[in-house]
Chains A and B, each alone.
Chain A
Amino acid sequence: MRYIAIRLGLSVVLLIGVTIITFVLTNLVPASPVTAALGERAAGDPKIVAAYKAAQGLDKPLPVQYFVYLGHLLQGNLGTSIGTRNPVTQDLAYAFPATAELAIFAIVIAVVVGLVLALVAALRRNRLSDQLIRAVSVVGISVPTFWLAVAAYFLFFFVLHWVPGSGRLSAIYDAPPRVTGFFTIDALLAGEPDVFADAFAHLVLPGLVLAVYTLGLLVRFARSSILDVLNQDHVRAARAKGLPAHRVITAYLLRGALLPILTIVGLAFGSLLSGAVLTEQVFAWGGIGQYAYRASTSLDLPSIMGVGLIVGLVYITVNFVIDVIYGFVDPRVRVG
């Protein structure tokens, strides 16, 4: 309990640190967000500029602005985006599930396929299949995500027409009634199979593109941690017990390799979000990545702060969840 309290405390400190960093960084920008948001004519009118500054609280000194921001933050108010004119919380509530849906799809694919490949490679160490899988993994971590996105989009959409175009849903469909914000799940909940099929079809290509890097990373690490475990006595002991192979592999081998793999999955989640920026840009996904890109190039301070916060929060949550799983999987941690 005390451990959890300390962790939570550290997380809050980390989050505040995140806000300070983003705040300072965005205010270092030589340009002011004011003119960025106003039209050509409006920016030339001092009255409009003044009205705008007052409305955004930009007429106050920077530290005051920061504390005003923190005050609002405590009330769950992240301010209003300069770019979209919506409350940032509302924008994030739309963008975050989009990215989460994509990222979760990608990580599930990467973990499942990655583990299987790593297992095959480790069990058939130095044979042809191992060499091939290792080659696939090196390719996975070496191929530029943005280029892969462009190439895959070109090939599977533009040439082959196997997948629908960019975005999360075809124009003819409306987004399903919002429950989770995941279009696939919401469509199922609403009992709209057409919408589900369409949302899923949109998800597949960007999801696979995004999964490639993580997959490569995972195969690499999982293979070596499986090899580590493979050389441990308890796997040999389990085999000496005459257990069937699937039992040896799932209960003994994989369980032993799980912890280092979990760590990598946590790390991979971070790289997944990075990949998402580039992938979303190509696929016009409308998630956090695209939002962050728009925000940082248009100096949309409230949006950037919002992205920083939510991403920091995700990072902290993922690490926390992984710690919890650690405890769950490893009795040594659980009891100690």
Chain B
Amino acid sequence: MNHLPARLAALTATAAAVALIVSGCSAGGGSTQSSSSKTLVVDNTFDLKTSDPARAFELTGSIVDKALYETALTFEGSDVTKPVPQLTTYTMSDDNKTITLTLNGKHVFSSGNPVTIDDIVWSYKRVQGIAGNPSFLLTNLSTGKPFAIEKTSDTTMTITDTAANPALPFILPNPSLGVLDEKTLEQHGGTTDKTDSAEQYLNGTSAGSGPYELSSYNATSKVVFKLNPKYVGTKPAFGRVVLNNVTGPSQKTDVQGNQAQLALNLNSQQVSGLESGSIKVAKFTSSNLGYLWLNQNASVSGGVTNQPDFVKAVRHAIDYKSLQTIAGTGSTQPGGMVPSQFLGSLASDENNTTDSAAAKSDLQSSGYKGQTITLSYPTDATLDGVSFADMAQSVQSNLESAGVKVKLNGLPIATLLDSFRAGKLQAGLMYWGPDFPDPSDYVTFSPGEGLGLRAGWTKDMSPSVTKAKEAAIAAQGDARASAYEAWQKAANADGAFVPLLQAARYQVTNGVSGNVPNAIWTVDLATVE
């Protein structure tokens, strides 16, 4: 072939180049800034499954439901140690078994219906009846018996547990116990038993008395809120809120470019050097607690992890400071399983200290003979942005320096949870997020209790821990704190769980304020201004 096609070749090449340049150029002109000052954009990494409070029990779900629904009681700002009235005021009975709720002024649903005692009773019974994720909130955690919920007058109702339960007022602020508009929901398939079919409706239209209404909802990309005109509280500063599903790295650039005014999921690496001008970084310690478990079941433990001295060796071998370095400044090592913010938390414990000499001697006396232990961890979950893989590798390296052979076993959290819940994993890393800010949420980390059993820690083991646990549950009033401390000390001395880390969390804002970190619902969108 000669000249002729060559010319055409040159021509087509030019055309291709032009096409590329055109597409390249148009790429630049995309993002424009919103002119509306009324819209608040919040970046969050979604774990959203539903916005139906009786079914939601994820972090994003709590943010959403907090904005849409009011609860009987609530917490003020970050302070989760003192329940305060919202829809109702409360009194506890002397035996701590019954809480009496009394309507607190006038609240109105977005439909215009007033909030009545019947709505609260119905909403609570619905949580119990449809047996969704949060239904345990209204159940006795030891016996599995649902609380008795009764309307006692047009303005009062009672919730009664079978045993003394001082945590009752701490449970009720949970956004999963948001109060729904019974009359509206009953028209859309809402019931208080398993036949309930209102979830679809709630994922399109909210039915609450909270500051916002649902404007649009997509569980994988974004949730948009608009003002609830019937809300009786202080009108929020922003008329429209967009909660956007964005990964960490993009959250950073979003805030920098003021594409988002609030970012909730940046980790320490990402926030370093970010603070400047209108960009503010609020740092606080997460109440999610990362822990290590060692299975006590003889047949799962490989004869290693159930040796008390081996457990001790592990506790001393771990370099807790390294973990904190990985997690970034602001992270802490909790003394026990109760997070540092809550009543009864331990500042530190002599059993959980880095001491390589002690680790070596404990290992020697445990009879460890070089067996490899398998350390499982979730690959697709983080402890507030800290990768479990990093933590696991750090722990592995610590243990290997102490002379323990460790094989890592990263699993998708679904697979991990399944085996963990069946008590089949020898050792591993997991975390616990608070269901309600009371130490009684944590007694599950005891022999024979739910979490204890996952680590093969059965009722007949560690009687000292069981005794301390029972004392803690039974304790009333001011005695509770020290009773829970004692329980954790016992568990640290002879237990299957090693509390490792509470990571630092960051809320990064650009030009807004009023975002108050909260351990239960992360942030109340209505207070941002």
Contacts and interface: CB of A to CB of B under 8 A. Distances in A.
Q: Are chains A and B touching directly in their complex (CB below 8 angstroms)? A: yes
Contacts of A246: 8
Contacts of B26: 197, 200-201, 204
A235 to B, nearest CB: 9
A84 B19 contact: no
Contacts of B36: 172
Given A38-B133, A129-B9, A297 B412 contact: yes
A123 B8 contact: yes
Interface residues of A, number: 76
B457 to A, nearest CB: 14
Interface in A171-199: 171-172, 174-175, 194, 197-198
Nearest to B260: A171
Contacts of A299: 412, 414-415
A230 B1 contact: yes
A206 to B, nearest CB: 11
Interface string A38-73: 111111110110011011000000000000000000
A105 to B, nearest CB: 9
Interface in B1-24: 1, 4-9, 12-13, 15-16, 19-20, 23-24
Instruction: Kindly list the 5 A-B residue pairs having the minimum CB-CB distance in the complex, ordered from nearest.
Output: A201-B30, A31-B418, A36-B414, A297-B412, A172-B34
Interface stretch (B218-226, B273-281, B467-475, B505-513): B218-226
A246 B6 CA distance: 11
Interface in A100-149: 109, 112-113, 116-117, 119-120, 123-125, 129
A202 B141 CA distance: 48
Contacts of A123: 1, 5-6, 8-9
A161 interface: yes
Interface in B129-179: 130-136, 139, 141, 144
A109 B32 contact: no
Interface string B376-414: 000010000000000000000000000000000000111
A39 B134 contact: yes
Given A42-B132, A205-B27, A299-B414, 19 more contacts: A35-B417, A40-B451, A41-B450, A45-B136, A54-B194, A91-B220, A116-B12, A117-B13, A119-B12, A158-B249, A162-B28, A165-B259, A168-B221, A170-B31, A171-B43, A171-B259, A208-B23, A245-B4, A246-B8
A172 B418 contact: no
B49 A30 contact: no
B250 interface: yes
B15 A116 contact: yes
A188 to B, nearest CB: 14
Main secondary structure of the interface of B (DSSP, over half): mixed
A166 interface: yes
Nearest to B23: A204
Given A172-B34, A201-B29, A299-B415, A51 B194 contact: yes
Given A172-B34, A172-B39, A284 B250 contact: yes
A109 B220 contact: no
B220 A200 contact: no
Interface stretch (B239-247, B295-303, B315-323, B343-351): B239-247
B421 interface: yes
A85 interface: yes
Given A119-B12, A245-B4, A165 B30 contact: no
Contacts of A166: 246-247, 250
B5 A245 contact: yes
